[in-house]
Amino acid sequence: MSGRQNGRPTLEEVAALAGVGRGTVSRVINGSPQVSEQARAAVARAVAELGYVPNQAARVLAGSRTDAVALVITETEARLFAEPYFLELIRGVSAELADADKQLLLTLVRTEQERQRFEHYLAARRVDGVLLASVHGDDPLPDRVRELGLPVVMNGRRSEAERVAYVDCDNIGAGRAAVAHLVARGRSRIATVSGPLDMYVARARLGGYRAGLAEAGLVPDESLVATGDFTEDGGRRAMAELLERDPDLDAVFVASDVMAAGARGVLSAAGRRVPEDVALVGVDDSAVARLMDPPLTSVRQPIEEMGRTMTRLLLQKIAEASEVDVAAAGEPRRILPTELIVRESS
């Protein structure tokens, strides 16, 4: 039996007290009709005795639904509205939920206090499932949602060993394709601006960059690697750092279009022409890429389709009232392809 999280009763304790399996507890809590009345009653007694589901336990155990899904983005309002990525993701999620006649609850979780408040909200069973976006490597929220017995699907993942269902794109392939393109353009001093390395997406794109160098027979040079934070200002800082370290660099793979816009400004201020002096490639293929001067070569990831796919997976999990505490092999995951879109910046 696993220990309690923050002193709260676990699914294992409810199952042990009720004399049923963890999957049965999950199905009862999620309102599945595929549970015997005897098992439902036993779980209800255990839940009441342990206080596993606060507030609205009676309503939930009766099988009622809220017809609402939470989309949780662990970022600030500034990033949410500044980055086309999140707006496209929301568009995909919203469209799929509208087709299913479900309500969307958009929530920003920026602090530990907000995370704990949101966990209490979930424990009150006010949504039927949770979608998570921009999750960092040490974030406990995906596991807490599972422990509360709610279906959950992530946009991206925290690590290679992710146990929670997720939808991601081929981030390693994005880095490899960008470098292969730059090498084909005759560039040899290829730098990169990564995202924050506590996020799997940033580590994967950096890994793709390094793999691309190796495939081209280029020796990796860590002085050509700078870390950003997926913001325009972060791109500016990282680009300035790279130019100071190696003024002769002739190409940069930037891990997002927004950071590439910041990098482009620094190159211009330093008198570096794009692409004549420094070729530039981003990731996302957002409106930012198309509006830059010159227009930005970018690795397209199907952001809206990722939103739709993760929503479809979540709705399927809700409909099936699937077991939430399952082995990694039992959780659905999808990897969507990326595509290099070549424009004048390279």
Reduce the DSSP state of residue 338 to 3 states and report it.
coil
Instruction: Tell me which of 24, 41, 61 is where a domain ends.
Output: 61
Residue 234 and residue 255 share a domain: yes
pLDDT in tens, the chain (346 residues): 444 544 567 777 888 899 998 778 777 766 666 778 888 888 888 877 777 653 344 444 445 577 899 999 988 888 888 888 999 999 999 999 998 889 999 999 988 889 888 988 888 888 999 999 998 888 899 999 988 889 999 999 999 999 899 999 999 999 999 999 999 999 999 999 999 999 999 999 999 999 999 999 999 999 999 999 999 999 999 999 999 999 999 999 999 999 999 999 999 999 999 999 999 999 999 999 999 999 999 999 999 999 999 999 999 988 875 444 433 336 889 999 999 999 999 9
Q: Report the distance separating Cα 222 and Cα 199, nearest Å.
A: 19
CATH number assigned to the domain comprising residue 51: 1.10.260.40
Residue 28 and residue 106 share a domain: no
* Contact criterion met (CB below 8 Å) for 191 and 245: no
**Residue 346 is assigned to a structural domain of this protein:** no
CATH number assigned to the domain comprising residue 164: 3.40.50.2300
pLDDT of residue 41: 83
Range of the domain at 225: 171-300
Residue 72 and residue 147 share a domain: yes
Instruction: Output the DSSP codes for 164-190.
Output: S-EEEE-HHHHHHHHHHHHHHTT--SE
Residue 203 and residue 252 share a domain: yes
Reduce the DSSP state of residue 149 to 3 states and report it.
coil
pTM: 0.78
Q: Report the distance separating Cα 65 and Cα 125, nearest Å.
A: 9
Q: Report the distance separating Cα 99 and Cα 94, nearest Å.
A: 9
Residue 290 and residue 235 share a domain: yes
Q: Report the distance separating Cα 240 and Cα 17, nearest Å.
A: 60
